[in-house]
Chain A
Amino acid sequence: MEQRTNSPYPRIDRPTLAIIGVLLVLSCVLFFASDRDHDWRYYQAAFEEEVAQKFGEERAAAVTTGLQQIWVADLGRADRCITCHQATSWKGFENADEPFRTHPVEPLQGHPVEKFGCTSCHGGQGWAVDVIEAHGEIAHWEEPLLSRSLGEDYSLSGNKGALIQMNCNSCHRYDRETKGADAINLAKRLVDEKGCRACHVINNRGGRIGPDLTRVGEKAPEQYDYSRLSGQKTAFAWHVAHFKNPKAVSTDSTMPNFGFNTEQAQALAMLVLSWKLSHIPAAYLAGAPRTDVPTPEQAAEEERMRTGPGAWFVETGCATCHSIQVYGVEAPAQIGPDLSNAVEDVQSRFGRTIDDFLREPTGTMSVVLSRQIILTPEQKAIAVQKLREAFAVYQKQQAEKER
């Protein structure tokens, strides 16, 4: 046999190889340990203990262990929340602290968990099984858990747990009133009362002066201008600030300041953020009309104004913002001044005659007359004539009053 020549480095190489062997074993230990290290293991053990204390060992042994999930194929959601929140369907934990509290029965009656899962109402990241990730309080997850504590972070002035109502409105967006969604209901009433539709398309109906709001909740947080906003840079905070004072956030906005208080502004922010393009299967919206239907009273009122002496103003669209008291026409959004005395009012406000003002309007009216109500010179002449007629009636009424 040939004589073997030995490595010049055996003193280094053999121990090195041995160390690497140790490292390989260590790496196995590490990744096994890291794979077992999940919050849910701790919570499941804790829950078993809770059950043992409350109901005895026997029932504790029956507690399901391991990863649990609710898979809702229709919504593409795999919600693993119940892996930790094991008490949701147990009786007897109604007053316990989270994560071991029984879920209130009432909302589940209309929204069975097999059909809705958890995250479609609560938000959060259903895929995850560790607290922070599952509650969605991490970067790159845009649907955080809409919890009471998040509401506290926003210092909601009303119900601190109201943020969850945004998700109610994904399916209930065409409802006038949704049971339990007080903030959203308040905001919907405000939309009606303030006549937002005068300028905005909402649910495919409304004016074109402001942007279409039907899917405004879809707008990415990066697409807002936060330069005039102090504090939190979130779409929600932007909307709250904007509702309180539109011009302070968006200087060239023509939106009037409605003087909303904090609760109203927050409710409206929730409402607009809930207006998203959501791919909800038809079965989840069964029976609901896919548009906002005016109430019978609203319809009757509109019909009355449309056929009365002020019909021209209603048809042309002036009556969306301006009331014409003398004809009994009441604008849904009282944004502009009453038109009954526009002839003298324009003169005193702008120092111009009504003909001149309509020919070359300024301010909000220039926006309205160039985008929403586009009139030919002939139509403008009719408008002036109609306004003069109204003014004549007004003067007559004033004279009668004085007498």
Chain B
Amino acid sequence: MAQQPPEAPGVRSRRFWSLRPRSDRDAGDAITSNFLLHAMPAKVSNASMAWTYSFWLGTITAALFLLLVLSGLPLLFLYVPSVERAYQSVKDIEYVVSFGKWLRAVHRVAAHGMVIAVVFHLARVFFTGAYKNGVGRNQHREWNWVIGVVLLLLTLFLSFTGYLLPWDQLAFWAVTVGTNIASAIPWVGPSVRELLIGGREIEQATLIRFYVLHIVVLPGAVAALFGYHMWRVRKDGGLARADREEQLETPRTVPPTPTKTYTLLGVARGTAPTVTAKTLIAADTTVNAVPDLVRRALIATLGTIALISILAVFIASPLEEPANPLITPNPAKAPWYFLWLQEIVTDTTIHLGSFTINGAFIGGVILPGLLIGVLTLWPWLDRSPREATGEWFHPARRTQNLVFIVVMVAILLLTYIGMEMRGPYWEFFWPWETWPSLPSRI
């Protein structure tokens, strides 16, 4: 069969292309409406590409999420979400499934890594004032910040729901502690807990709820919000760093940019009108997204994958005794990223004679609620000038940066205390003190 000559000169049909452009305009439209070609800008400023500006934490987080989806898929085939079989199926993954141990370790290490990366990403955005609007029109970076906070909470909840699935003592009691903190919310607390765990006991109903949340609902929500998050970044004119460049750059005369061709877009044939560039797109301050930005994105993504993959060979995932509601391990700890809350709950639980003021309300509800609330609203509370956009530790934001650092350090410290310095009966031990050895049966 003779090949139909394409009508648009210079456009050849390809076997696996669904599109058969009939004209130059068709071909141009296909390109302008192609998502993949526009996920990234054509050009990007050198400054916003710098490793030391963003540390590429958002990309790393996204890479970890990708890795979690990829490693989660085979686990879906192997894990059985029933209280009778869950533990055994995880044992099988650990011991006899080909690459099962590594897959589970990748999933676990990536999950913990994602919590860390998301928090660092948030800190970076805060310290650089990147939630502030710069010079572009219709910028709404504050909304992207809010979405970011929601994504942080979703990440924590994703990790928390995954925590229960192995159905061992670690999982069972961590979720017990976590959901008990939730039940300290006034009036609705017990109902929230009941809704979350599907009853009053952590049982099969809890397992299936957490499972569905973990594999469908939460990843779906993260994927959707992540898409919007990225779209907003483009819509708001890229990283805030670029705005800063534009603001600070003193106007200068740049040589006319070499001509652009608009042939492919179907706007005109041949060489097109010369576009005089402003500084932001001047040749010496910008690079082409392809290949320079793409290369860096690949470095961040593949680097993350390689690192996690290697770590997973050496970091074994814990699997304790099968879940037993009758035996509380000593000490029973929440997942590490909630340990600062558990620590505050302990420290604000006050015994006055026979009275006990339960700290779960202060430590578990008021304080985290207040922190999240203030964090969400911060872009509207921050009154610093425009110039503070996209700059690490801008002097105008010194006080708020200091407060943020103090809060973060406090959280890290409390987490460390909870992780390493709380032994049996939640008693305090200095790092150089050894915990009493735990007894065994035989």
Contact = CB atoms under 8 A, between A and B. Distances in A.
B313 A5 contact: no
A338 interface: no
B313 A142 contact: no
B259 interface: yes
| In the A-B complex, the 8 residue pairs with the closest CB atoms | A7-B292, A27-B309, A23-B306, A221-B439, A233-B439, A127-B91, A140-B320, A220-B327
B358 interface: no
Contacts of A26: 306, 310
A67 B96 contact: yes
B78 to A, nearest CB: 14
B332 to A, nearest CB: 11
Interface in A1-34: 1-10, 13-14, 16-17, 20-21, 23-24, 26-28, 30-31, 34
A150 interface: yes
A146 B313 contact: no
Contacts of A391: none
A128 B287 contact: no
Contacts of A31: 99, 102, 309, 312-313
A235 interface: yes
A163 B260 contact: no
B420 to A, nearest CB: 18
A357 interface: no
A8 B285 CA distance: 9
Contact of B441 (A24, A78, A236): A236
B439 A14 contact: no
Given A5-B288, A129-B96, A273-B441, A14 B303 contact: no
Interface stretch (B27-35, B181-189, B293-301, B367-375): B293-301
B426 to A, nearest CB: 14
B305 to A, nearest CB: 7
A5 B286 contact: yes
Interface of B: 43, 46, 49, 84, 88, 91-92, 94-96, 98-99, 101-102, 168-169, 257-261, 283-284, 286-288, 291-292, 295-296, 298-299, 302-303, 305-307, 309-310, 312-313, 318-321, 326-327, 329-330, 437-442
A21 B286 CA distance: 27
Contacts of A2: 257-261
Contacts of B94: 127
B438 A222 contact: yes
Interface in A228-282: 233-236, 238, 273
A275 to B, nearest CB: 13
B178 to A, nearest CB: 21
A140 B288 CA distance: 55
Contacts of B102: 31, 34-35
Contacts of B299: 13, 16-17, 20
Contacts of A17: 295, 298-299, 302
Given A2-B258, A20-B306, 11 more contacts: A7-B292, A16-B299, A20-B303, A27-B313, A28-B309, A31-B102, A76-B84, A163-B442, A223-B327, A234-B440, A273-B442
Contacts of B310: 23, 26-27, 30
Interface string A21-59: 101101110110011000000000000000000000000
Contacts of A195: none
Given A35-B98, A234-B440, A141 B321 contact: yes
6 contacts: A5-B43, A27-B313, A30-B309, A142-B441, A221-B439, A234-B442
Given A24-B309, A128-B95, A5 B439 contact: no
A345 B305 CA distance: 84
A156 to B, nearest CB: 12
Contacts of B169: 140
A14 B295 contact: yes
B298 to A, nearest CB: 6
A130 B284 CA distance: 60
Interface of A: 1-10, 13-14, 16-17, 20-21, 23-24, 26-28, 30-31, 34-35, 67, 76, 78, 80, 127-130, 133, 140-144, 146, 150, 163, 220-224, 226, 233-236, 238, 273
B442 A146 contact: yes
B442 A235 contact: yes
Contacts of B326: 220
A5 B49 CA distance: 14
Given A67-B96, A127-B88, A222-B327, A234 B439 contact: yes
Nearest to A77: B88
Q: Which of B101, B296, B442 has the most CB of A within 10 A?
A: B442
Contacts of B438: 221-222, 233
B436 to A, nearest CB: 9
B10 to A, nearest CB: 14
B88 A78 contact: yes
A35 B97 CA distance: 9
Given A13-B296, A31-B99, A127-B91, A235 B261 contact: no
Contacts of B258: 2-3
A140 B319 contact: yes
Contacts of B284: 5
A26 B302 CA distance: 13
Contacts of B49: 7, 9
Contact of B306 (A24, A128, A220, A221): A24
Nearest to B97: A35
Contact of B88 (A24, A76, A235): A76
A31 B260 CA distance: 49
Given A27-B313, A35-B101, A80 B303 contact: no
A35 B101 CA distance: 8
A143 B261 CA distance: 75
Given A2-B260, A140-B320, A127 B95 contact: yes
Contact of B283 (A5, A27, A76): A5
A129 B326 CA distance: 30
A7 B28 CA distance: 27
B295 A13 contact: yes
A5 B437 CA distance: 64
A8 B295 CA distance: 13
Q: Which of B96, B307, B330 has the most CB of A within 10 A?
A: B96
A31 B98 CA distance: 10
Contacts of A273: 441-442
Contacts of B313: 27, 30-31, 34
A80 B96 contact: yes
A224 B439 contact: yes
A236 to B, nearest CB: 5
Contacts of A1: 261
A30 B314 CA distance: 9
A34 to B, nearest CB: 5
Given A5-B286, A13-B296, A140-B321, A150 B442 contact: yes
A202 B422 CA distance: 39
Contacts of A143: 441-442
Nearest to B168: A140
B88 A221 contact: no
Contacts of B260: 2
B283 A3 contact: yes
A3 B302 CA distance: 29
B292 A13 contact: yes
A133 B95 contact: yes
A276 to B, nearest CB: 10
Contacts of B98: 35
A222 B324 CA distance: 13
Q: Which of B88, B101, B287, B441 has the most CB of A within 10 A?
A: B441
